[in-house]
Structure 1
Amino acid sequence: MASDSSSAPSSSSMPNGSAAMGDESANNPYFLPANENPGLILTSQPLTGLENYMTWARSVFLALSSRNKFGFVNGSISEPNPTSHLFNSWNRCNTTILSWLTNSLSPDLKASVMYINSARDLWIDLKNRFSQDNTPRLFELQKEISHLVQGSLSVSFYFTRFKTL
């Protein structure tokens, strides 16, 4: 069945000779807009360790999901065979995401993961280090919650502190 392409805008009639950023680009996990370069910082607070891992991981999840890139770290977009036509696109996205992740780490953590080659492996390494069931930390948090009092704190600040714990 032939289609009439005369009514559809051609890529040469679009700005910069590319198709409009419609659903096709937005839904393609391999698409990287020019403003999403390796220097991008995903979160305002870098990961420093156990004390902020959960909030950092949530921020990174939201940032990557909004860019349709979380599949690179959760494994749903796996590395294709090096002979595949998708390999170069996957590699470009992987290294960009790897850069974004390392940009969101404290200098000490960054130094410890510099030679990890995939965003998925970095994500797993950090998760294994900082999200394991830590009974002493759970005890410490329960203790902090039980000793939390509003005192002179505003209700909003008190609630935020409680939710953070």
Structure 2
Amino acid sequence: MDTNFSPIATEARAMRTSLRARRKWGCIDGTIGKPEEESSKMEDWWTVQSMLVSWILNTVEPNLRSTISYMENARDLWDDIKERFSVVNGPRIQQLKSELAGCKQGAVSMVTYYGKMKKQQRWATKLQGFHYEIFYKHGRDNRVVDALSRCESAESILVSLSSPVPTVLTQLAQYYATTEGKQLVEKLLKFST
């Protein structure tokens, strides 16, 4: 199955990899054929088919699942899904790419907005490890911030003005100095030996 340029290429590759890992891809590509009707292997073959049909249907979006014809043979089901969803609509894909490229958040392009958002997420992650309080200071009284807001690179000045001090180790040391903390350490030492 050539799915390199198909809209379902990623899902198809993932399913193919999963089925190969379970040695079941041959049921889809036809290298493992259906045994004779009277064969002792027929019941096992139907068991595998039922399992494969179930796996394939469970990977399909629930709202699309009801539109797919029920088939008991995994290869027929795979071919039906491939035929329905592998249709490439070049003009629509180009239209979506153009819309995405022109997408804006307010007056800022999405690329710029996303970059700022990632930067804010990094700072939020860095600040999560610290205990800090934010106090409102009226504009006239807050001369440092007022001066920094006029700088070209306020970020570098902010970093040099602030020095966050982690308090976790101090809090742990204080806790372990208490009777309760000492008892906990003793229990842990007994438990580990």
TM-score, normalised on structure 1?
Answer: 0.52
Q: In the TM superposition, what are the counterparts of 1:89-128 in structure 2 within 5 Å?
A: 89-113=44-68, 115-128=70-83
Residue 152 of structure 1 deviates from its aligned partner by 4.0
Higher relative contact order (CA 8 A, sep 6+): 1
* Corresponding pairs, count: 105
**Map of 2:40 onto structure 1:** 85
Residue equivalent to 1:46: none
Identity of aligned residues (%): 31
Q: Which runs of 4+ in 1 moved over 6 A?
A: none
Query: 2:148 corresponds to which residue?
Result: none
Structure 2 equivalent of residue 44 of structure 1:
none
Structure 1 stretches of 5 or more lacking a match?
Answer: 1-50, 158-165
Question: How do residues 5-44 of structure 1 correspond to structure 2 at under 5 angstroms?
Answer: none
Structure 2 counterpart of 1:28: none
Alpha-carbon distance in 2 for matches of 1:111, 1:82: 31
1:133 Cα deviation (Å)?
A: 3.3
Gapped regions of structure 2 (runs ≥ 5): 1-5, 104-109, 119-193
Query: Does 2:32 align with 1:71?
Result: no
Structure with the higher fraction of residues in helix conformation: 2
- Alignment partners' CA distance in 2, 1:144 and 1:76: 43
**For the residues of structure 2 that align with 1:125 and 1:74, how far apart are their CA atoms?**
13
Residue-by-residue CA offset, 1:21-71 (whole Å, 9 max, x unaligned): xxxxxxxxxxxxxxxxxxxxxxxxxxxxxx962222122112111111111
Aligned-partner SS, 2:51: helix
Partner Cα distance (2:8, 2:31) in 1:
22
2:15 corresponding residue in structure 1: 60
Say which of 79, 84, 90 aligns to 1:129. Answer: 84
Give the secondary structure class of the aligned counterpart of 1:117.
Answer: coil
Question: Is 2:114 aligned against 1:153?
Answer: yes
Letter of the 1:62 counterpart: T
Cα gap change, 1:127 to 1:152, in 2 (>3 Å): same
* TM-score, structure 2 as length reference: 0.45
RMSD: 2.8
